[in-house]
Structure 1
Amino acid sequence: MDKFSDYPTSLTAPARDAAAVVPSDATDLAVLPRALFIGQTGDVAARLAGGQTVVFRNVQAGSVLPVRTARVNATGTTATDIVALW
């Protein structure tokens, strides 16, 4: 039995899982994350869960963007080492 299985999963609870993000102009993320961790400073071009496309400019390394992101676009994204958290 997973000793963490009874911990709540909600939008306000800490993330339980993570995966590296490979920016793509055509492919959505496999899981809809609750946030993105940005490893190296740069811009993040994303399509949000609601369908809007936005560019977060000059996101600093070590930042966590609390956004539900369906896709991180390759075009317009200069930040690297992005990790999806859910």
Structure 2
Amino acid sequence: MNSPRPQDFLLNTASGTRVVVRYRLDNGFTDALGYLLSVTDSACTIRTRQSDVEIPLALVVAAKEVPPPPPRRNPRTGAQ
């Protein structure tokens, strides 16, 4: 069974979907976790917590949809 290419997954996924994308760097791999903003034939843009990341599709090695983040916990207060 052939798995779909991660590029095809990204091209067919709706903007606003939360995804994780693994892609090649010069010294290895890294992941971008966030919301898919846009996809073209050559690149995708992911909105991570830190910034918007543009990733050339030629460097993508894996991509999948992920569930929404868990709710933030309340800040801790002093001794109880």
- Higher RCO, 1 or 2 (CA under 8 Å, sep at least 6)? 1
Superposed pair shares fold, TM > 0.5: no
Q: Which has the higher strand share?
A: 2
Coarse TM-score class (shorter-chain normalised):
0.3 to 0.5
Q: TM-score, normalised by structure 2?
A: 0.33
